[in-house]
């Protein structure tokens, strides 16, 4: 099989590290290039070579990415962060490599939770009621305030005393109590829903620490995902985060327009969206059908250790002799 080259961005984060592990697990001949804002990260040991790049909003970011993809003859770029999805999609026509990303306008909408609410509500697709601080009508017993942009739990405020005085860039949603679920969906190159996969999960500081596969909500979530796809613009993987209330209502509250952070878990439980992307965008093959199974997962910390090294400069590839412990 011909060796292909894949570039994965944001390799300092768990999303990209999961993608890299998934690719290493597959029986494909693939050379892996990684990029990150730091020269050294935990993801370096999974790559054949890595590069340090500027932040996504730096004017040098796209020229640097273009230079790397040309130098390394990259066939496919997989962005692992939301903002890189948008910027790479916006500049897609400048790359010879394929970019695994939804279109830039769609990605831009889903970067902003309030714009997501307006967009989906306009098309009668379920999403958590949302307000800007100055528009909040005090109809809710409990509220959650969060930044309109950004991921994880950074900046979240539960029942703030003065919601109308929140800083610029915040929004308000009802504070729902119940089960939190996260659903991965894959859209094939024909624009059809290839499959979905849902976890109930527990989080610590915004990251999944425990997960349990559930099929209980598939009918409703599949309908929501199809409605979103029918609007156009989505490609590859995207993620819907929802709350399931005590009375069984499923309320999406965030959409991530990329492969999500639980990709390495679901890869081993029958939903291999990284593989589907490689089959379609690298090899022009029809993606395998998902075969999800029940399962439970817990995340742990591990160490990447480089014995006999005293400088970070040479640790930019998997041949530097890392020890996983």
Q: Is residue 122 part of a domain?
A: no
Same domain for 193 and 294, yes or no, is yes
pLDDT tens-place string over residues 1-37: 689 999 999 999 999 999 999 999 999 999 999 999 9
Closest to 106 measured CA to CA, from 238, 260, 252, 263: 238
Is 312 part of a structural domain of the chain? yes
Long-range contacts of 161-169 (CB under 8 A, 24+ apart): 163/133, 163/136, 163/138, 164/133, 164/134, 164/136, 165/133, 166/133
Q: pLDDT over 70 for what percent of the chain?
A: 98
Q: Where are the alpha helices (DSSP H) in the chain?
A: 14-25, 61-71, 82-90, 104-111, 113-122, 218-230, 263-267, 273-281
Judge whether 116 and 170 are in contact, CB under 8 Å: no
Q: Judge whether 3 and 30 are in contact, CB under 8 Å.
A: yes
DSSP string of 199-255, one letter each residue: EEEEEETTEEEEEEE--TTHHHHHHHHHHHHHTS---EEEEEEEEEETT--EEEEEE
pTM: 0.94
Residues 212 and 134 in one domain: no
Q: Domain range holding 149?
A: 129-174
Task: Please check whether residues 157 and 192 belong to one and the same domain.
Answer: no
Structural domain tally of the chain? Answer: 3
155-198 pLDDT, tens per residue? 899 999 999 999 999 999 999 999 999 999 999 999 999 999 99
Q: Are residues 228 and 283 in the same domain?
A: yes
Give yes or no: residues 193 and 287 share one domain: yes
Assess whether pLDDT exceeds 70 at residue 305.
Answer: yes
User: Is residue 145 in a domain?
Assistant: yes
Q: How sure is the predictor about 138, in pLDDT bands with cuts at 50, 70 and 90?
A: very high
């Amino acid at each position: 099989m011909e060796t292909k080259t894949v570039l994965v961005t944001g390799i300092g984060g768990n999303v990209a590290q999961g993608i890299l592990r998934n690719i290493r697990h597959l029986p494909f001949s693939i050379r892996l290039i990684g990029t990150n804002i730091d020269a050294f990260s935990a993801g370096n040991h999974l790559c054949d070579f890595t590069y340090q790049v500027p932040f996504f909003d730096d004017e040098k970011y796209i020229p640097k990415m273009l230079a790397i993809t040309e130098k390394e003859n990259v066939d496919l770029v997989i962005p692992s962060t939301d903002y890189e999805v948008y910027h790479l999609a916006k500049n897609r026509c400048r790359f010879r490599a394929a970019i695994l990303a939804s279109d830039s306008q769609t990605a831009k909408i889903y970067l902003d939770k309030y714009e997501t609410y307006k967009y989906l509500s306009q098309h009668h697709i379920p999403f958590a009621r949302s307000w800007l601080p100055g528009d909040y009508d005090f109809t809710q017993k409990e509220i959650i305030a969060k930044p309109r942009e950004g991921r994880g739990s950074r900046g979240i405020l539960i029942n703030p005393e003065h919601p109308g005085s929140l800083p610029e860039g915040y929004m308000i949603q009802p504070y729902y109590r119940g089960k939190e679920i996260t659903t991965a969906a894959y859209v094939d190159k024909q624009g059809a829903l290839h499959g979905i996969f849902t976890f109930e999960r527990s989080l610590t500081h915004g990251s999944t620490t425990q997960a349990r596969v559930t099929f209980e909500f598939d009918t409703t979530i599949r309908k929501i995902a199809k409605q979103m796809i029918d609007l156009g613009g989505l490609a590859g993987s995207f993620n819907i985060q929802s709350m399931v209330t005590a009375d069984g209502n499923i309320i999406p509250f965030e959409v991530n327009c990329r492969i999500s952070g639980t990709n390495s878990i679901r890869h081993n439980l029958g939903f291999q969206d990284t593989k589907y992307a490689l089959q379609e965008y690298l090899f022009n093959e029809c993606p395998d059908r998902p075969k999800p199974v029940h399962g439970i997962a817990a995340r742990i910390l591990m160490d990447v250790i480089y014995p006999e090294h005293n400088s970070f400069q040479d640790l930019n590839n998997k041949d530097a002799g890392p020890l996983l412990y």
